[in-house]
Each structure stands twice: as structure tokens, then as C-alpha cells.
Chains A and B, each alone.
Chain A
Amino acid sequence: MNETIAALVATVRDACAERSGTGAVTACADGGWNAGLWAALEQIGITTVAVPEEQGGSGGDITAAVAVLEVLGEYSAGVPLAETALLAGWLIATCGAAVPSGPMTAAIAGPGLRTRREDGGLSVRGTIARVPWARHAHRLTVLDNDQVIVLERGGFTLTRGTNLAGEPRDDLHVDAVVPASQVHGLPAGSPVSVQAFRSRAALARAGLMAGAARRALELSVAYAGEREQFGRPIGRFQAVQQHLAAMAGEVLLAKVAVESAALAFAPRGDADLAVAAAKVVAGETAGVVASLAHQIHGAIGFTEEHALRHSTTRLWAWRDESGNEDAWSEILGRRAVSAGTGGLWPLLTRTR
């Protein structure tokens, strides 16, 4: 990690330690968000990390964004940083427009959304399912073929929903005429595509998972040192030690995978391949780590009283968002099979 990113991560970690402790996380369960932490992150100036400064962003690249997301995942931080920076900010900035301040979210226009040119703007009608953090976002950006539509908060209504961890995943109902000034055309040859959007969203989730898995491991290590049975801490039993070591290996692998995937966004990298692999591995890690963490915590971890659930419910939620292990595996598998016996190794080594 270069020194700038290391310093940034340390600052974010401090902010999280102060504002995203167990109490704060518990307080924003069930659809809330952590407005205090968001304000602190705005102060630090990283809410649009990886968006160029000329466009009003925080600067930095995807490796910086992933490093920050790992910390946010570790602290179960209830803030839409991935959506604001890696998706909405990226879409708007790529169109050459100025990135506004405030929390944002983003979606792909699916078959449920119809758009039509009208006098004075674009008529947008229909529904978009399960948009992260929508109820707290000031703006929603929608990628619709070769244009990016920016909807203000008043431009849609929503039906509330959450994921397994209680994070907002709302269905949006849009019926608005968006002024032309809020509809941005994508420049010719721009890197934005539905595939690129999905990759970024998946990498963000993978980064968050790497952090949450690390927290679940750390809680388990601490618990194994405190909880006594048969007259000694359970961490003295070799079976428990083996569980913890197996978890640590998985967490290490997920961390290296997401950080490697971020590096693959460099020129000549194969970000599609790398992100697919990282999302699969992070999803597998999530499953193994959550299950072993609960095994080690015994019954107490299975309750609302214990903080472990903040990490494990997120791990279970995030592994199914932005494409689960099988969805990305299928994409990778098709590439591998069509590369053939002679092409598999070159495919694996082409990201660097």
C-alpha cells in the first residue's frame, strides 16, 4: 500500500472506531444509516474516492477505494460509499459532468423502466428493484444504454426493503420528467457499460466482505481467548485453533484477491476476470468464515445481544448481492472452457 493510501486508511479507521462502534451499528439496524459517520467521511474528503478531482471527486484510484471499503466492511459501517464513489460518481464523472456532493446511489435501467424524450427533458417511468440505500440517498443515477439519468430524491417514491443485515434495499417507483440538464450522454468510447457497472458493484461488495470477514475472525479469536470450558479458554483446544487458522487463511486469501482485482483495473489488466474471481472467492470466504465464527461463539453468537451478527449477516447478504459465487463462476468457467486446454494458463496469467 502506498503511503497516501495507508494514511487515508488510517484516518478512515479512526473515524470508524469513533463513530461505527457496536452501539452505532445496532442503532442503524433495520433500514437506518450512519449519518454521523458519513459526515466524518465527507470531512476526510473520501466520499467520492476514485473520482477525479477535476470532476469534483476525491481523487485516488480503485485500489484506494477498495482499501477504504475493507475498513468500512470491518466496522459494518452503514454508509453508501461504494454506491456514491464507485458507481454514481463514476457514471457522472465519465460523462464529463460535475459530481454533486451528498450520498448517492446507482442502478442499471432494467426492463421495468421506460424512457421517452419529451419537451424539456426525459420522461422516466417504471420500477427499479432493490436499490441500495435509496431512502437515504440525495440522488439516484441510472445507467440507461448510452446515457446517465440523475434523479433527485423527490423524483421517485419507494417501497422499503432490506437485506439480511437490515441495510436498505428499496424498490423505486419513478414517474418523472427529468430536465435535460440532468441527463448526461456518455462520450463515445467511454469505459462505462453494463458489464463495467456490474464489475464495480461486485468488487465493492467483495471489498466490504473481506473487511467483514476479518472482523468475524477477530471477534472469534478474542472470544476463544476469553470463553472457558473444561477449566481453560476454548482457544487452548486444538480443534478450535484449527478452525481459527482455517478462517485466517480464508480471510487472507479474500483480502489479497480483492486488492489484486483492484490492481487489475490498470492498463493491460483484465479487470473483468479479476473481479469475477475476487467476488467468487470473497463469497466462499464469507460462507466459511461466518459458519466457523458462529461455531466458535456457541449459542451467544446466535443472539441479537452479540455483535458477531453485524458481521455475519452482512457476509451472508453481500455474497448474494451483485452476483453470487455461481453467477460469476459461470462467466469465468465459460471463458476458461473457450480458452481451451492450451489457453487456460495464458488466461490466468494475463491480468498481469
Chain B
Amino acid sequence: MDLWSLEPVALPAELEALRTNVRAFLAGELAAGRIASRCDQWLGGWDPGFSRRLGERGWIGMAFPERYGGSAAGALARFVLTEELLAAGAPVAAHWIADRQTGPGLLRFGTEEQKQAFLPRIARGECFFAAAMSEPDTGSDLASVRARGTRADGGWRLSGTKVWTSGAHRAHAMIVLARTEPRTADRHAGLTQFIVELPDPAVRIRPILLLTGEHHFNEVVLDDVFVPDARVLGEPGSGWHQVTGELAMERSGPERILSTFPLLAAAMDDLAERGDQAGAARVGTLVARLWALRQASLAVAGRLDAGAAPAVEAAAIKDLGTRFESVVTDTVRLLSRVVPDPGSDRRLPRLLAESILHGPGFTLRGGTNEILRGVVAKELGVR
């Protein structure tokens, strides 16, 4: 089975300099009070100013070629950067989708004009994207999308309703998955990805608040939106292939392991202050698993860097990693005996509250764990 060819990589020593620089930069941002450390900031931490400061340093679109504003540093350098940002609990949500999936998608499938139009702006931290895939009746079964694209003069007209569209209300553009041919026996055929620039009078965006009350998700109604041919991403009809490739590649990043890391870190000083000896073994169990998950996530980055597409490995690691994120929450909750309090000005109660209330999302976003295990079962030959 191909699964077993996943091997650890040793990070090249030159990336230590990058790590040191990122740490120094983050320490400065935190000390100056420009950012605060919170849990799950790649979902909730929308801070265009911070994104722009990262862009100035060349820390968005690191894997883009230089002619599009990137530094062609590769997947391992991007891994080091992103894990440092996540471990610090920095607010990276604004540029996250653009950096992680839109950029690579444009690089692989976009026209030269599209690359020129978007990639340098993404890399500068000035252009944010949303991903409009899910619909009211379409979550895990993405092939069942109903949003329609119909041919029009010089382009396409899109109609339909998208949901759970992260950040659509603040993004500069979104990638919409729509059906452009009648459904046939091959459910995966006839889907197309479109770049819709925002705002657009024919796009209505309505907030759907998270259970924390935060505005992150949206319902997006496409009411006969015109999209010129120049804004079709890739070949019409190959949307399924593009979208699943995108999802598969991005499943095992450090964000699938570190959403609650700021909470775990905060618990260390608390345990030390209270001299909790008994808590050490339980903390150690978490540290062990986190260490191993990080090695596995890094191993996938190593395969990506080498040009492979370790989609099944990524699915398996996302399943393990996202379950771990909530084990952290529960362990710290039980060990610290702190009452979670979203409004607290003390660190631990606040981080604990964030982790609990954001917890349900960890094992849903990017494909549910049941679906991911289905992907692995297929590789094992039983499905």
C-alpha cells in the first residue's frame, strides 16, 4: 500500500533562519499589542493589517514563483512559516484561503492573465479569497451542487445559493463551484469553477453567525451573476477534479493540528504555578501525540515539495489531527479546573472558551472525519 511510503523529512538547516525571523517578528507584534494570541485564528482571526505586514516580508504566497510576487521557497518553508504563525495564535484568517488554496489553484489551472491579476496582490496581502463550494443540500456530497452556470454572451451567468462561505463578506473575490452541464450518470462531470469578484450587485451575502456569535460564515445568493470567460478557472467541466485536488493537497497542514495549541501552551505556566505533578503525565501524552502528528504533517509537506500528491496520507493525518485538537481542549479543561469564560481578561479561561466553542468545526471543515476515513478505506481496498 502506497500509504506506507510516507517518510519523515529532516528540515533543511537553512530554514532555521526563517524560523528565527518569524519568531522575532511575532514576538515584536505581540509585545507591541498589535496582535493577541488566540485559538483557531486561521478561522477567526481576520486582520488585514497583519496580513499586509506578512506580505511585506514575503510571507504570503511563499510557494509562488518570483514573477508572481512569491519567493518560490517551497512547501517546507511554507510549513515552517505557517506552523510558527499558528503556534503563536496569530490572526491569519484574512489571507488563509488565498494563500493555501486559491494561489496554488491559480498557478495550476489559471490563465496567464488571471495569474498576473491575482497572485501578486495575494502575495502582498491585499487580495483575500473565499471558497464557495457548500450549499444548503450539499456538504459532504459536493458532486450534488445545484448552483448553475449557463452560457451567455462572452461569459456565463451563475444562479444558486452557497452556504458556510467563510469570509465572503470581506473577501475581494470568491471561487464558485457550479454545474454547467446537465447531470449525467457521471456525477463528477460537468462542474466548473468561476472567479467571482466582490462586491457584485448580483451577489447577496447574508451573515450566518457561529455559535460564538462571531460573523464568519455566510449565505451567498447568486442572482444571475455575470462572469466573463476570462474569469473561468481552468477548463469548463473539470471543476470536480480541480476542487478535490485542491482539498486533498491542503488537508494535512499544521492548521489541522495546532488550532488549540495556544491553549495547550497557556496551560504549562498554570500547571507550574499550581505545582500539579499528577498533571504531567497527561500533558506528556498530548506532547507525544502532537510531536508525532507534526512529524507526519511535515512528512506530507516533504512529499508535496517533491512533487507528489499524498492525498490519502493527508486524509488520514487530518482525521487524527483534528480529533487531537479537541483532546487538547478536554485535557486542559480537566487539568486546569478553570471555568471557561469568553469575556475573561485572563488568558486560560478565555482560550478554553474559544477552544470549546470552536471545537465542533475542527472535525467538519475541509471534509468530515467520516468522509476522510472513507477516503482511507478506499485506499485499503475495502470500499
Give A residues with C-beta under 8 Å from B.
1, 214, 221, 224-225, 233, 235-236, 238, 240-242, 244-246, 248-250, 252-257, 259-260, 263, 266, 273-274, 276-278, 280-281, 284, 325-326, 328-345, 348-349, 351-352
**A349 x B19 contact (CB < 8 A):** yes
Closest B residue to A221 by beta carbon equals B380
Please tell me which stretch of B138-146, B198-206, B314-322 contacts chain A, meaning at least 4 of its Cβ atoms lie within 8 angstroms of it: B314-322
**A348 x B382 contact (CB < 8 A):** no
List of B residues within 8 angstroms of A224 by Cβ: 382
List of A residues within 8 angstroms of B184 by Cβ: none
List of B residues within 8 angstroms of A341 by Cβ: 265-269
**A235 x B382 contact (CB < 8 A):** yes
List of A residues within 8 angstroms of B272 by Cβ: 337-338, 340
B58-97 Cβ-contact flags toward A at 8 Å (1 or 0): 0000000000000000000000000100011000000000
Interface residue B289 (Cβ < 8 Å from any Cβ of A): yes
List of A residues within 8 angstroms of B3 by Cβ: 248, 252
Please tell me which stretch of B102-110, B219-227, B290-298 contacts chain A, meaning at least 4 of its Cβ atoms lie within 8 angstroms of it: B290-298
How many angstroms from the CA of A7 to the CA of B6 in the assembled complex?
17
* A interface majority secondary structure: helix
**B271 x A337 contact (CB < 8 A):** yes
**A348 x B291 contact (CB < 8 A):** yes
Interface residue B383 (Cβ < 8 Å from any Cβ of A): yes
With A273-B291, A344-B265, A348-B287 known to touch, is A333 a contact of B377 (CB < 8 Å)? no
Within 8 A of A (CB), among B281-332: 281-285, 287-296, 299, 313, 316-317, 319-320
**B265 x A245 contact (CB < 8 A):** no
**A329 x B292 contact (CB < 8 A):** no
**B283 x A241 contact (CB < 8 A):** no
State which of B87, B268, B288, B374 has its C-beta within 8 Å of the C-beta of A332. B288
Chain B contact patch, size range: 35 or more
Q: Which of A233, A273, A280 has the most CB of B within 10 A?
A: A280
* B interface majority secondary structure: helix
**B374 x A245 contact (CB < 8 A):** yes
Closest B residue to A240 by beta carbon equals B382
Chain B: minimal CB distance from A170 (Å)? 30
**A330 x B7 contact (CB < 8 A):** no
How many angstroms from the CA of A253 to the CA of B320 in the assembled complex?
9
List of B residues within 8 angstroms of A256 by Cβ: 6-8, 292, 295-296, 299
List of B residues within 8 angstroms of A225 by Cβ: 381-382
List of B residues within 8 angstroms of A328 by Cβ: 284, 288
State which of B294, B377, B381 has its C-beta within 8 Å of the C-beta of A348. B294
Chain B: minimal CB distance from A225 (Å)? 6
With A248-B3, A336-B284, A341-B265 known to touch, is A284 a contact of B289 (CB < 8 Å)? yes
List of A residues within 8 angstroms of B370 by Cβ: 242
**B285 x A245 contact (CB < 8 A):** no
List of A residues within 8 angstroms of B280 by Cβ: 329-330, 333-334, 336-337
Interface residue B17 (Cβ < 8 Å from any Cβ of A): no
Interface residue B10 (Cβ < 8 Å from any Cβ of A): yes
**B268 x A340 contact (CB < 8 A):** yes
Interface residue B240 (Cβ < 8 Å from any Cβ of A): no
